[in-house]
């Protein structure tokens, strides 16, 4: 045997040993792995889908439900005549006959969806035709029985019922539950064996969500907001109605709106939750924060008199009032009158007395520059620079709501501090989660933060804002027999790109609460870019008034002007 033969046999021995070693490894060490893999290949798994949880308002009126639906499909290879089938089913599915037949002829796939969600009556009509190659799968479809009502908060779902927006997206995991399955023993072709085992893992249905929304108040807010947007030819609008004692959002109306049942036909911009995503300069309603800050620091009282010129020069910039003064009108104004008459120069003088460091501290404590963390997706924290980055003019412009950007919800939550005697309550839109058997699983607690301002300061601000409605810039909002308080705001709209403001475009707002003696409602109305009128009192104010009138009747609030409680409160302020 020569050297070549020896080398050949040596290689054969090495290869044989390698094969034997590999077989031994697979037999001894990987036995269970391949056994399980083999068994799995002989199993047929049928997925069981859970029922998606519902969404209700605070009174358990349905806002989002799930109803039975049917998916309709075709198996092109089983269809005897595709043109005839398309002709028969097209009118029933409300589709074009040519589109269906073209898809059937062009498809190379063994399976083709014809309609993902069809009603039971549609399914029965098609089934009665007894057409070969047509199949049906029972499923479910998300429906919103009130159409556009509260659509931005509810959001919507995709074709497979996955949440894509709003509460549907934020709590998709809780709403959809978890899938189950049936595991069947089968042959290599997937056919179930008669003698095989059957294992069923049931699905867990999704939880239902009970929100803080009141459908009746939401409807009224949407109605009057839409009316105002149309009347003033505005670009958009928002209205937030909140219970200051609990933080419950009772309504959040947004215009433009959309129908979540047909969300695909709406614009992306129309589906934004504007009260939490859009930021804007609040204008004069921010004077409430300036007032509360100087009162809390005991720099002035509401009765302190200050000389307020019509113009004021600060760092080579002239600050002036939005309205011309009457002839022979005095320049000496009380702090209350500065707010009642919405004087920019007067508010600037108050902020200068306060100083930028302390002013910034109160702006932050009132919740600006931070998210409220409401249970909705996409919230913005607004725009607020630290005082180190303020220009010399910023303390003035910030005092009357320019150079700072807030969300509508931040403003509403800040006003609730005044209404709630100085204590911040975190806004919430979810009350609790509920299982299918209607037992409460998890509640969202009312969250109180530390006191922001003293009770004395809150009373003084309340009294001043009451005077704004009684004799100031919001006299047109008065409701006979009831005490309302608030502040108007007319802010020139900042450019989205670059510095400066859009010529002729304003955001008109009114932020208030009622009744003053025991506030049950805080409400913000803000109208974006009205073309017919632009003052907060005449554009946003009437929406506030109409909603307030409805809520007074709805809550059966008795007609009291200045009750004993308020009189005691005002006396308490005057005694400090």
Judged by DSSP in three states, 38 sits in helix
Longest dimension (CA), the chain: 131
Residues 6+ apart with CB under 8 A from 195: 185
φ/ψ of 269, rounded to 5, equals -65, -30
Which residues are known to be catalytic?
Answer: 284
List, as one string, the DSSP characters of 561-575: SS-HHHHHHHHHHHH
Question: What is the Cα–Cα distance from 331 to 346, expressed in whole angstroms?
Answer: 10
Judged by DSSP in three states, 265 sits in helix
| In contact, 468 and 443? CB cutoff 8 Å | no
| In contact, 504 and 473? CB cutoff 8 Å | no
Question: What is the Cα–Cα distance from 434 to 124, expressed in whole angstroms?
Answer: 34
428 DSSP assignment:
B
Residues 6+ apart with CB under 8 A from 24: none
Question: What is the Cα–Cα distance from 154 to 64, expressed in whole angstroms?
Answer: 7
C-alpha distances (whole Å) from 181 to each of 44, 170, 194, 203 are 10, 26, 19, 7
| In contact, 148 and 257? CB cutoff 8 Å | yes
Residue whose tokens read 């859970």: 50
Tokens representing 353 are 């007395």
Give the residue among 116, 217, 122 at the shortest CA–CA distance from 162: 116
332-334 and 305-307 strand pairing: antiparallel
Residue whose tokens read 């036995």: 31
């Amino acid at each position: 045997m020569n050297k070549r033969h020896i080398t050949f046999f040596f290689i054969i021995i090495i290869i044989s040993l390698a094969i034997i070693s590999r077989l031994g490894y697979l037999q001894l060490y990987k036995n269970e792995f391949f056994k399980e893999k083999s068994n799995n290949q002989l199993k047929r798994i049928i997925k069981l889908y859970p029922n998606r949880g519902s969404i209700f308002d605070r009174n358990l009126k349905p806002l989002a439900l799930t109803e039975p639906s049917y998916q309709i499909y075709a198996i092109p290879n089983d269809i005897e005549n595709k043109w005839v089938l398309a002709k028969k089913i097209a009118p029933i599915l409300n589709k074009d006959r040519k589109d269906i037949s073209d898809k059937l002829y062009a498809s190379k796939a063994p399976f083709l969806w014809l309609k993902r969600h069809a009603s039971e009556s549609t399914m029965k009509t098609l089934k009665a035709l007894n057409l070969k190659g047509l199949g049906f799968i029972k499923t479910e479809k998300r429906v919103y029985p009130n159409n556009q009502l509260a659509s931005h908060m509810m959001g919507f779902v995709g074709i497979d019922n996955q949440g894509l927006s709003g509460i549907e997206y934020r709590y998709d995991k809780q709403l959809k539950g978890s899938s189950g399955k049936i595991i069947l023993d089968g042959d290599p072709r997937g056919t179930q064996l008669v003698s095989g085992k059957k294992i069923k893992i049931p699905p867990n249905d999704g939880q239902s969500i009970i929100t803080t929304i009141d459908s009746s108040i939401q409807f009224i807010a949407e109605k009057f907001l839409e009316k105002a947007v149309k009347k003033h030819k505005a670009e958009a609008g928002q209205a937030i109605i909140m219970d200051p004692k609990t933080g419950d959002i009772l309504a959040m109306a947004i215009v433009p709106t959309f129908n979540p049942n047909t969300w695909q036909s709406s614009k992306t911009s129309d589906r934004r939750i504007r009260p939490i995503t859009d930021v804007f300069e609040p204008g004069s309603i921010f004077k409430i924060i300036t007032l509360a800050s100087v009162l809390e620091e005991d720099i002035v009282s509401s009765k302190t008199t200050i000389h307020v010129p019509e113009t004021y020069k600060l760092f080579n910039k002239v600050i002036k009032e939005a309205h011309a003064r009457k002839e022979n009108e005095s320049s000496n104004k009380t702090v209350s009158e500065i707010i009642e008459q919405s004087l920019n120069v007067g508010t600037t003088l108050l902020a200068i007395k306060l100083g930028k460091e302390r002013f910034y501290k109160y702006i932050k404590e009132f919740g600006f520059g931070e998210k409220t963390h409401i249970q909705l997706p996409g919230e913005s924290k607004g725009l607020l620079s630290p005082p180190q980055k303020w220009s010399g003019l910023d303390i003035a412009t910030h005092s009357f709501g320019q150079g700072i950007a807030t969300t509508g919800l931040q403003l509403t939550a800040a006003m609730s501090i005044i209404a709630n005697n100085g204590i911040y309550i975190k806004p919430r839109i979810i009350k609790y989660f509920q299982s299918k058997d209607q037992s409460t699983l998890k509640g969202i607690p009312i969250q109180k933060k530390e006191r922001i301002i003293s009770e004395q300061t809150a009373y003084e601000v309340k009294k001043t804002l009451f005077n704004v409605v009684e004799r100031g810039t919001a006299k047109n909002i008065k409701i006979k027999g009831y005490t309302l308080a608030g502040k108007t705001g007319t802010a020139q709209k900042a450019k989205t790109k670059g510095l400066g403001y859009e010529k002729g475009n304003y955001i008109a707002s009114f932020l208030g609460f009622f009744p003053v003696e025991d506030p049950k409602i805080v409400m913000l109305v803000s109208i974006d870019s009205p073309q017919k009128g632009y003052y907060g009192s005449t554009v946003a104010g009437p929406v506030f008034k109409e909603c307030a009138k409805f809520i007074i009747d709805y809550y059966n609030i008795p007609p009291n002007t200045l009750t004993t409680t308020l009189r005691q409160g005002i006396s308490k302020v005057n005694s400090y």
